[in-house]
Structure 1
Amino acid sequence: MLPPPEPAVTRTPDALVLGAGPNGLVAAVNLARAGLSVLVLEAEPTPGGAVRTRETTLPGFHHDLGAAFFPFGQVSPAFVPLDLPGAGLVWRHSPIDSAHPAPDGTCASISRDAALTAASLGPDAAPWQRIATWHARTRDRMLDALLSTLPALGPMLRFGPLNLLRLAQVALSSGRGFATRTFRTEAARRMLPGLALHTDVGPDDPCGAIVGFMLAVLASSAGFPVPEGGAGSITRALIHRLEEKGGTLRCNARVTEILVRQNRAVAVRLATGEEIPAGRAIIADLAAPTLFLDLLPEPHVPDRIRRAMRRFPHGFGTFKIDWALDAAVPWRHEDAARAAVIHAGDSLDDLSTFTRQVRSGALPDNPYLVIGQQSVPDPTRAPPGRHTLWAYSRVPSSLAGGWQASREAFADRIEQRIEQLAPGFRSHILARALWSPPDLQAINANLIGGDLGGGSADIRHQLFFRPVFPWFRHRTPVRGLYLGSSYAHPGAGVHGACGRNAALAALHDL
């Protein structure tokens, strides 16, 4: 009779990464490339966080659950060294990157093609071209400066003091102020403030111009590409890079506690009760309030941080719709028909009214919309001759009486808004799937209240104050524990920089 086999020896991973969103996966890849053994723990059944794709409406229609177009995808200093195209990722572009139609028939548009942009902007082509030309010369140095860990003195010096001054002049303006100084037509003036409402920054907010400015200039250079097959293709490419370096991903592994001994994070406890040790570091791709209030033992979190997390400033909620269509959207303006992304905002005043209504807790009468046409550049998203459509509006996170009672009516209001710009749109709808703020939080716990950005994008909550001063360099008060989510600088966007910077901090400390 053979003796029983000896129990397998499980090696303690050098590093645990909590969360398999893009930031968590980028952190894990950087740690694995540095020679550490890495285990990624993901609470959900599938990895990706807000970068996932699913058939939410009908079979054969592939919809992105969260992020759907990626201005940082091909240019982020966190992604470029990973060579995601070499891991199978294919990017697709539309001729127009960002179109801004209004019911009056005007439509200002931004494209990577300077001639197409000039034709769209007319009398405002010259000032825009000066901005785009400057950005083309400085883009990579700018992104390195803006996406690196603060204070990023080396990248800032490489960007140059004159370029920093020019960017600071934008950053000190409101969206309305910068737009009215720069452009003559209402169509052009609504572009940048409209882009800023990807976050919770309204046209009249002090120091709010920089958000829309950055998205606009990226549209002119990197564009708003989509991954072939869906946003989940980014996640698959990152997992490929992780696994080729020996890293491991484990799903359905919800962390409920971080264990601390002698003020060092040494292990995590799962919802099942299982404890998993971490040999050298833990990086959390998690919401900052969740990390500091729920997962860490109270004695290890200073009272000031706990107070700050209880009043953490979240951004607007989000209401999202996926549609399966039997044909392309019949836009009135041809630029919209060829655009990757359409931004529906009638004017600066319309965007200001929208912002006031959302902040007051009301559903907006005339919803501002971000609309993604992924199946235009990527036909694999839908069956032949069919199309997908994706759109969201910013909304209050909660409503009196709850969201369930308002979901269908608000979705109808959004469809009517699109109908104004594309008569006949509703006749092409085969099915739709609705996602209110509670629905979005249910599929990704980091999207608290439907906040897509990991906290408010207001300037008072950025830079050295994200998530809380002085813990803005990805370290936490607990040794060996790092915050690598969009709740840390540089914040929102699928750029992977938060995860990369947290990994670099951990490697520096090791």
Structure 2
Amino acid sequence: MPSMLDAVVVGAGPNGLTAAAELARRGHSVAVFEAKDTIGGGARTEELTLPGFRHDPCSAAHPLGISSPAFNAMPLGRYGLEWRHAPLPMAHPFDDGTAAVLSRSVAETASSFGPRDAGAYRRLVTPFLAHTDTLFRDFMSLPLSSLPRDPVGLARFGLAGLPPSTWLMNRRFHDDRAKALFAGLVAHVIAPLGGFATSAVGLVFALAAHAHGWPVARGGSQSISDALAAYLKDLGGAVHTDYEVKRLDDLPPARAYVFDTSPTALARIAGLGSAYANYRYGASVFKVDYALDGPVPWTAEAPRRAGTVQVGPGSRDIAAALHAAARTDLAPENPFLITVQPTLADPSRAPEGKHVFWAYGHVPNGWTGDLTEAIERQVERFAPGFRDLVLARATAGPPELAARNANYVGGDIACGAASGLQLLLRPKLSASPYTTSHPAVFLCSSATPPGPGVHGMSGHNAAKAVWRRLRQQR
């Protein structure tokens, strides 16, 4: 290790590793320091239940990962990253035994909503389909350090995405099939449906499905982190695990310090005082990972083919569950669930004929109860006989999630409330959200734009800010 590094990165999650790789690619000396004994952050894979069953403790489906300009700019396939797709990206079952779907095909998706809303959905997404990659690059690079590649397309997307999702759903759709599926998409960031710019959340997830799908990483989400680390090492970077950082003096001398941490942790370690005192953390989730003796026996046909299944069922149910998690101290009796079936796309995750499956429901930040019974009751509602297939389960509420990943303050898997202005202006109103009051300290976690998800773009964008600062010093 040189006596003075160009950059030190704290935290070996996808954003920290992406920031490090981007800086190393530009010729800078970089070292990453991770408190856990393994890398990965929100992209890990472990045997949580039984031997041979490989579970993703955090994120599993990656519509933003496969769409990420940062990941796509790196040769991660050369280092073992392989995206695997289920036949359908997502399905949303209803009590009548049918389901709406989010398919790679706009026509198939629209037809699942019924004749009254099929045309409305096509009109909503079609204007963006031909330029999705450019739109994602511009949108995920906000606030822009240069002119957008497609300013007209970005402006059109902004007009469609800035209103609350409740306004969009009520204005565009007649029936609850379309409303429920779209509401479920917004719920992936645990944002109240009536919040500012929540329409953009639903649109991004829908467009990602049509453009690239909602895949899993072969072998588990750990493959994403491992590929990033291997690429970084080939570029000359170093990764150190089991290295807890409590203050800046714990780190080797460097021209820049880049934190893939919560704003709270950054302020504590770097001595920034109350710099992020107004930053808000949001609701949490209660997650259950299952080892199953067979596939989930969904009543509807479409969920049997879908990598992700939203279990609601209706838009009002989803809104109530999100409201309860965000505004009360009580978990909902009938939680809205996001579930993932990785073995439909990647059978290597479990012994032959067996499956892994996970489900989570929204709960208040820091909640200490047990949602297992409510989750399984909801799954059984749409997949009778599910409990008979359970070989083992591993549960994690907010305290356990926070223990797994220090960025999940109070169990908030988004590293900060994705609601109100904080959905877009995070961690605070600033033309450069990655810089801090300390000229050598930067933030690159999902507390910065474009926010939560395994996509590396927060790290990618932060690396640009670091690179500009380092260039000014020369």
Please give the range of the TM-score, normalised by the shorter of the 2 chains. over 0.9
Tell me whether 1:38 sits opposite 2:30 in the alignment. Answer: yes
Tell me whether 1:467 sits opposite 2:443 in the alignment. Answer: no
Pick from 210, 225, 236 the counterpart of residue 235 of structure 1: 225
Q: Distance in 2 between matches of 1:504 and 1:364?
A: 42
The question of whether the paired residues in 2 share the 8 Å contact of 1:132 and 1:220 is answered with no
Tell me whether 1:146 sits opposite 2:139 in the alignment. Answer: yes
Q: Which residue of 2 aligns with 1:284?
A: 259
Identity across the alignment (%)? 38
Tell me whether 1:92 sits opposite 2:81 in the alignment. Answer: no
The question of whether the paired residues in 2 share the 8 Å contact of 1:466 and 1:488 is answered with yes
Q: Aligned ranges for residues 327-342 of structure 1 at < 5 Å?
A: 327-342=294-309
Q: Aligned ranges for residues 193-272 of structure 1 at < 5 Å?
A: 193-258=183-248, 268-269=249-250
Q: Which residue of 1 aligns with 2:44?
A: 52
- Give CA deviations for 1:189-238 in whole Å, capped at 9, x if unaligned: 11111111112322233442221221122122111100110000001110
TM-aligned CA deviation for residue 302 of structure 1: 6.3
Helix, strand or coil at the partner of 1:54: coil
RMSD value over aligned CA atoms? 1.7
Pick from 349, 352, 356 the counterpart of residue 319 of structure 2: 352
Q: Which residue of 1 aligns with 2:180?
A: 190
Q: Which residue of 2 aligns with 1:132?
A: 125
The question of whether the paired residues in 2 share the 8 Å contact of 1:199 and 1:315 is answered with no
Task: Give, as a single letter, the amino acid of the residue that structure 2 aligns with 1:252.
Answer: D
CA pair 35-165 structure 1, distance change in 2 beyond 3 A? closer
Q: Which residue of 1 aligns with 2:270?
A: 296
Pick from 463, 466, 473 the counterpart of residue 506 of structure 1: 466
Q: Aligned ranges for residues 105-124 of structure 1 at < 5 Å?
A: 105-123=97-115, 124=117
Q: Distance in 2 between matches of 1:472 and 1:290?
A: 19
TM-aligned CA deviation for residue 10 of structure 1: 5.5
TM-aligned CA deviation for residue 153 of structure 1: 4.6
Q: Distance in 1 between matches of 2:403 and 2:139?
A: 31
Pick from 466, 477, 484 the counterpart of residue 437 of structure 2: 477
Q: Which residue of 2 aligns with 1:379?
A: 347
Q: Distance in 2 between matches of 1:206 and 1:90?
A: 35
Pick from 356, 370, 374 the counterpart of residue 388 of structure 1: 356
CA pair 377-411 structure 1, distance change in 2 beyond 3 A? same
Segment of structure 1 superposing worse, 50-59 or 200-209: 200-209
Count of residues in Structure 1 that have an aligned counterpart in Structure 2: 468
Task: Give, as a single letter, the amino acid of the residue that structure 2 aligns with 1:412.
Answer: E
Task: Give, as a single letter, the amino acid of the residue that structure 2 aligns with 1:413.
Answer: A
CA pair 458-509 structure 1, distance change in 2 beyond 3 A? same
Segment of structure 1 superposing worse, 134-143 or 204-213: 204-213
CA pair 149-508 structure 1, distance change in 2 beyond 3 A? farther
> Could you state the TM-score of these two structures normalised by the residue count of structure 2?
0.95
Pick from 68, 74, 84 the counterpart of residue 82 of structure 1: 74
Q: Which runs of 5+ in 1 are unaligned?
A: 1-8, 259-267, 270-274
Q: Distance in 2 between matches of 1:122 and 1:103?
A: 16
Tell me whether 1:313 sits opposite 2:313 in the alignment. Answer: no
The question of whether the paired residues in 2 share the 8 Å contact of 1:106 and 1:187 is answered with no
Q: Distance in 2 between matches of 1:207 and 1:507?
A: 30
Q: Distance in 2 between matches of 1:160 and 1:10?
A: 43
Task: Give, as a single letter, the amino acid of the residue that structure 1 aligns with 2:324.
Answer: Q
Q: Distance in 1 between matches of 2:51 and 2:442?
A: 40
Pick from 148, 156, 165 the counterpart of residue 175 of structure 1: 165
Helix, strand or coil at the partner of 2:156: helix
TM-aligned CA deviation for residue 115 of structure 1: 4.4
Q: Distance in 1 between matches of 2:110 and 2:53?
A: 35
Divergent runs of 4+, >6 A: none
Task: Give, as a single letter, the amino acid of the residue that structure 1 aligns with 2:357.
Answer: L
